[in-house]
């Protein structure tokens, strides 16, 4: 049991904090083989497909992905409240803020990744920002819809592939949001894994993962 969450027979025992009732459907914990396969696919996709797209095209697809969140807005709001106990008004604010990232915020992300030209009139240098490879995002329970896009979208915009492991306290929220964005992207660009710190440890210790973006405790 981590952070009050029990793993039983390979499934996260996801409990509604307001009622104590078990939330269904139960979410299976990703197996070591599934973790390894996700890392392999992420590296292959990043190297052959995603990073090869021009930056404006990546941003365009990410806008489509964020727009997909609007289609599940009400379900996402209800799931946040059910999983972690946030009142509906706060869940609504969190989801709407995530949807709002598709506008000015993604513009800023694009600008930060553009080539930068420096020169004095007699010579010119160009700063080019290259992707690292595979970025793992481990997100917290208290902002389950807000943190994932803030951590994942800049990494994706830069040409990296991303694997998201949501907090084991809010696995359904993490799945809804991650899968909504992933629908707009090439297969393998943005993937979802589930579990507690055992899964997190396998991800962060892999030599084929090149960066970890994490908000949370070591237990995750």
pLDDT for res 128? 86
Contact 177, 146 (CB under 8 A): no
Instruction: Give the model's confidence band at 14: pLDDT under 50 very low, under 70 low, under 90 confident, else very high.
Output: very high
Q: Encode pLDDT of 70-86 as tens digits.
A: 999 999 999 999 999 99
**The residue to which tokens 């029990």 are assigned:** 6
How confident is the model at residue 120, as a pLDDT? 77
- Is the pLDDT at 4 greater than 90? The verdict is no
Q: Tell me the pTM.
A: 0.93
- pLDDT tens per residue across span 99-133: 998 888 999 999 999 988 887 778 888 888 899 99
**Which pairing describes strands 116-119 and 27-28: parallel, antiparallel, or unpaired?**
unpaired
In tens, the pLDDT along 199-209 reads: 999 999 999 99
Q: What is the pLDDT of the chain when averaged over all its residues?
A: 93
* Across 45-54, average pLDDT: 94
Peptide bond into 115 cis (omega under 30): no
Other CB atoms within 10 A of residue 15 CB: 16
Q: Are 219 and 157 in contact (CB under 8 A)?
A: no
Whether residue 150 is predicted with pLDDT greater than 70 in this model: the reply is: yes
- The Cα–Cα gap between 93 and 106 comes to 19
pLDDT of residue 124: 85
Report percent pLDDT > 70 for the chain: 96
Q: Give the burial string for 70-84 (b: 16+ CB within 10 Å, else e).
A: eeeeeebbebbbbbb
Cα separation, 99 vs 209, whole angstroms: 28
Provide the pLDDT confidence category of residue 188 given band limits of 50, 70 and 90: very high
Share of the chain above pLDDT 90, in %: 84
pLDDT confidence bin for 3, thresholds 50/70/90: low
Reported as a single tens digit per residue, the pLDDT across 19-48 is 999 999 999 999 999 999 999 999 999 999
């Amino acid at each position: 049991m981590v952070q009050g969450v029990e793993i039983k027979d390979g499934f996260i025992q996801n409990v509604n904090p307001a009622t104590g009732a078990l939330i269904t459907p139960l979410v299976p914990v990703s197996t070591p083989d599934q973790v390894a396969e996700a890392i392999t696919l992420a590296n292959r996709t990043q190297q052959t497909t995603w990073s090869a797209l021009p930056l404006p095209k990546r941003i365009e697809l990410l806008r489509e992905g964020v727009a997909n969140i609007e289609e599940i807005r009400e379900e996402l709001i209800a799931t946040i409240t059910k999983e972690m106990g946030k009142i509906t008004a706060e869940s609504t604010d969190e989801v709407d803020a995530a949807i709002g990232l598709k506008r000015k915020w993604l513009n800023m992300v694009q600008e930060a990744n553009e080539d930068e030209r420096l020169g004095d009139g007699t010579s010119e240098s160009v700063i080019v920002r290259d992707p690292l490879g595979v970025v793992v995002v481990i997100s917290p329970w208290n902002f389950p819809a807000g943190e994932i896009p803030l951590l994942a979208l800049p990494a994706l915009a830069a040409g990296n592939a991303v694997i998201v492991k949501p907090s084991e306290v809010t696995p359904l929220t993490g799945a809804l949001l991650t899968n909504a964005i992933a629908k707009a992207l090439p297969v393998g660009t943005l993937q979802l894994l589930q579990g507690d710190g055992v899964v997190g440890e396998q991800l962060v210790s892999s030599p084929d993962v090149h960066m970890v973006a994490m908000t949370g405790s070591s237990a995750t």
